[in-house]
Chains A and B, each alone.
Chain A
Amino acid sequence: MDTQQDMAEAGTIRSNSAGLGHSAEPGQGEGLALAEFHDACGRIRAAIETVIDGKSEAARLALTVLLAQGHLLLEDVPGVGKTMLAKTLAKTIDCSVHRIQFTPDLLPSDVTGVSIYNQDKHRFEFRPGPVFANIVIGDEINRASAKTQSALLECMEEHQVTVDGTSYPLDTPFMVIATQNPIEMEGTYPLPEAQRDRFMARISMGYPDLRAEMDMLETHQSVSPLVNVRPVVTVDEVRSMVATVRDVYVSPAVKEYTVNIGRATRDHPHLRLGASPRAMLQLLRAAKATAALNGRDFVLPDDVASVAEAVLAHRLILDRKAVTAGEDASSVVASVVAKVPVGGESRRVSP
């Protein structure tokens, strides 16, 4: 999809999102105008491109998830730049970034924080853990024990940490970028299915192509290009961008299309478990972010289709027979998208 073209098509720039029936959350500012939004996105993507070669689609999806207020799971074999992508994205934004290296002996309190007795003041004080940040990079999340994993996943869902009966809200925006090696690797605790559902999208990085890999050898030879990355947007700008995404309009036809995709996965003969309603919600959010990234203030069925694989594939559980037949979740999602009719001509059009 050509973003420039979309910008031109969008023509009018949305200046007022009030009265659309969306209740703006308290404390969240007005959305950015589409032009500014697009400009900011362009800066972030350009910054990422300086570090990650030939992975613009992955970078774009990561940005999409950030703007849709979801969490991202990067899954691939070691050494293809998962952590690098996460760190670069974090670094382009002028916000707090924490990194947790998951190991088998990591404890939940190492993630969430712990109450420590302050002898001077004679009371317990909460020492926030690394999860208190705008962007949390959970490296090799599948190396930690299930207990620790769930501590992080709880934070992701609730956007708050509860220690000793006191809840500490997390900052906004809050995004977890977890990386994991594919489950076949030794010494890992694979994420349970239910917990994978908490991640909005999963991205497989994949190997770079020949040209990109040669460039990578060049740029990463002496000094890591990450050093030169400077923040290009402020955290307030990110908040405004999130608000912009929230105000993107979704027509009933697109909602119907989204729901139809979800229902199709539930009835799919190759699937043991289809997409949950939460998955539908996240799919639509991701589609809204995609639409905004493309410079539109309304969602097209194409937006839904383009993120369907990233958002849905990791939540589906294949039937044993389908696995032996060589199917995988991605191919199932692709087949579902190819089968669901694009609804809704113009029923919303009124004279």
Chain B
Amino acid sequence: MRPLKFLLKKEFKQIFRNKALLPMIFVMPLLQLLVMPLAADYEVKNINISIVDNDQSSYSKELTSKILASGYFQLSGYTHSFKESFKLIESDQADLILEIPHNFEKNLSRNGFEKLFIAVNAINGTKAGLGGSYLNSIISDFNQSISIKASKNTPDLEFKSIDIASLNWYNPYMNYKIFMVPALLAIIVTMIGVYMCGLNIVKEKEIGTIEQINVSPIKKHHYILGKLIPFWIIGIVVFTIGFFGISWLVYGIVPLGNLFLLYAYLGLFLVALLGFGLLISTYSETQQQAMSVSFFFMMIFILMSGLFTSIDAMPDWAQKIAYINPVTYFIEVIRMVVLKGSGLVNITKHIFIMIGFAILFNTWAIINYRKTT
């Protein structure tokens, strides 16, 4: 164990002496955590709508004001023909067209039904889909209110409807940030795990100092532990700053679950991820190679971890990739423990899987690191 002491001392000195690395480790991740949740927001607002009101009746005016009052839409045109409105879509000034037909009010009161026409610019699928469904719900709401009015006037027409009462658990206001911030914290820890440690070793390969280590009687596992431990500690520290300093203080996310459990899982996750970084470093000769390979995996780790998109919504093959991605499990655990207050029983499966990853990556890395080639 004595050589390990010297390795750790050396490593910490080098890390804290590196003027470029320190801000990279501490400032950048936290800035990302501050900025990203504000930008990466799924809620679609300010949808530009153009309304073609062919009716100009009190009903059509009521519907229009209802749409604009919802807060999701901005009126970019109020035209008299579809053609005019379509020009707005072509010039990207409008995302949606709602066409209200002639005799809208008359037909509605006389026949009890009428058709509306919605045209959506579907280039941005999310915006189009959400805009369409917002509009639909506003119209059905409007529909209900006029039905009620109608039923009052003609009591023989019985009004039937099913009313659904829903309750949102764990994130009652469906605040996107509550969903994103803990997961972004997981991604930041992942970056430290994959990049920092791996690059550090490859740097020693590049400048040649690793040769001096390889020609010494130092044990492989001592050397690797000497690299793992400093970055493990850094990972925990960065997570702590992000968790208490930003997630709790700035975003007001109070963890519901057991913090000890969360930290235990974080520790385990870091061992697995640092092992992965080490593994990449044993296969790379230059920092450039290590960086490119790490970047490739980082993309998969981020996109296929359920960070932005629900894993259940992915095609089968993609789900399989997501479930061999260690980051998936950490994001699940952090969301479960922080937002739902899940306990040990709920994440037992996650713990065993992560232990598996940790053993796999680290053993592979130690075997593949050769002092004698």
A binds B: no
